[in-house]
Amino acid sequence: MSLIQSRSPQKPDDVVAERAPVTPDGVRKLADSVRVAQDAWRRRDPSGRAAALSGAADRLRARAGEAAALIVREVGKPVVEANAEVSRAAAILDYYAQSCFAAIGDLLAPTLPANQPGLLFTERRPRGVAGLITPWNFPLAIPLWKAAPALATGNGVLLKPSPEALACGELVAGLFDGLLPDDLLHLVPGGADTGQAVVGAADVVSFTGSATVGRGVAVAAVRAGLPVQAEMGGQNAAVVLPDADPATTATMLAGAAMGYAGQKCTATRRIIVVGDATALTEALVAAVAGLRVGDPADAGVAVGPVITDAARRRVLDGVAAARAAGGRVLTRLTSPGDGLYVAPVLLDSVDPGHPVACEETFGPLASIFTVSDPAAAAALVNHVRYGLVTSVHGSDIGRLFEVVRAIDTGLIRVNTPTTGVDFHAPFGGEKASSQGPREQGTAALDFYTSLRTITLCTPPPNPAEEAA
């Protein structure tokens, strides 16, 4: 079996990690060992589980500089964003450490005979082995926002990181060394075969990645009778109402569309302007021109490289196809230097049905549309098969709510960019962006547990004793 390899996108000759993939048979054996370890872990008292998670958070904070540098090197994330991801990953571990002490059920009024008092209650139990399949773009935060709630609720973990983020996956697994019982968490590097084997061996499946792969994972999990959540791509819009300030809105949108070379599921890909788009378009062109493109290790850089040559080709081909169909490029099409850099591209005059405006081109590419009223803006937002996140910008609260109410996305952000995630709130999309229950916050504690309802009553009274 050929080795899997991750390479630094800013220096593609730099091989960051190289490993043999775990075979499907290897995945099954590791799942068996996780299941044995999980049986003891689920009985561990909450303070024992919390100590392991907060110990991992402390370890990550102590290695923050090294972790951020690895993210920069392996996936080309600009260093300011890499630092923020490390802080967030540690905060996620702390949050779920505390969740070990949360209530694990509810007490309800029982329906019992008067002479047999008792209790009616619910109890959440871990599902067993959590199979976690993750993408490369948030290589610490996403594995941890799945693994931390799974462990907190008493599950074991099989974590399959993206081949493009192999070394970051190893860093995540290493955070728990010596803090968790042996075999409770195993990293299973590999590609599609390894991922499919994880679905086959797990008791609960959580996936984040592209819509095509996610749908296949969800179907396979449902066929096997497993609970599954799949968080997938987006074609996210920003709606700009006539009373939004063009300059501040443009700065926000330029960052949300082009930051990290547009490689976030929550990146803004369509900018829908209600009324005259002239002032906003000018401000956007200026704001995009002000974003520095280049080495992601440089603190002033907002746009690093895209992850692979195939990703770069997809963006350039998308731009060429949009231009051939009448789209107009508003920004300078110069790619800085060698490697996998793509200059941010703003388009207008694109047909809303064109693939660059309907599908996910995972790169620094956004299109501007003009509509006449808020209802038309909401209709255009909803026109695509995805439904992850929308931002709405303006001042009139009535107008803002009119748009918010008409939009079919799982996340809606008013006067703040589409990008940005609160780990303590439910996260997920509608339509092709999401399948199954939400991630993060307390929704994750529900997902990694099954709920049973218990009726507990005192023994029936002895008729002889009652008569006496």
Which spans of this chain sit near ligand NAD (rule: CB under 6 A)? 133-138, 160, 162-163, 191-192, 195-196, 208-210, 213, 216-217, 231-234, 265, 360, 362, 388
Nearest to 330 by CA among 351, 344, 318: 344
**Residue 49: in which H helix or E strand, if any?**
helix 46-62
In the bound state with ligand NAD, the residue whose beta carbon lies nearer, of 6 and 162, is: 162
62-100 burial, b if ≥16 CB within 10 A, otherwise e? ebeeebbbbbbbbbbbbbbbbbebbebbbbbbbbbbebb
Dist. CA 116–CA 249, nearest whole Å: 65
**Residue of this chain nearest to ligand NAD (CB atom):** 195
Do the strands 156-160 and 129-133 form a parallel or antiparallel pair, or are they unpaired?
parallel
Nearer to ligand NAD, 155 or 196 (CB): 196
**What's the rounded Cα separation, in Å, for the pair 32 and 29?**
5
Query: 177, 258, 256, 209: which is closest to 418 by C-alpha?
Result: 256
CA distance 251 to 248: 5
Positions annotated as catalytic residues are 231, 265
**C-alpha pair distances (Å), 69 with each of 86, 145, 169:** 10, 20, 14
Residue 248 CB, nearest approach to ligand NAD (Å): 27
CB nearer to ligand NAD: pick between 210 and 442: 210
**Closest approach of Cβ 270 to ligand NAD, in Å?**
15
Please, what's the b/e burial string for 401-416 (b: 16 or more CB within 10 A of its CB; e: otherwise)?
ebbbeebbbbbbbeee
Task: Tell me how far apart the alpha carbons of residues 138 and 265 are, in angstroms, rounded to a whole number.
Answer: 10
Of 216 and 355, nearer to ligand NAD (C-beta) is 216
DSSP three-state, residue 225:
coil
Residue with tokens 């019982």: 181
Nearest distance, CB of residue 429 and ligand NAD, angstroms? 6
Residue with smaller CB distance to ligand NAD, 27 or 319 = 27
For the bound state, the minimum distance from the C-beta of residue 360 to ligand NAD, rounded and expressed in Å, comes to 5
Of 230, 80, 208, the closest CA to residue 141 belongs to 208
Nearer to ligand NAD, 75 or 288 (CB): 75
CB of residue 4 vs ligand NAD: minimum separation in angstroms? 9
Q: Least separation, in Å, of the C-beta of 217 and ligand NAD?
A: 5
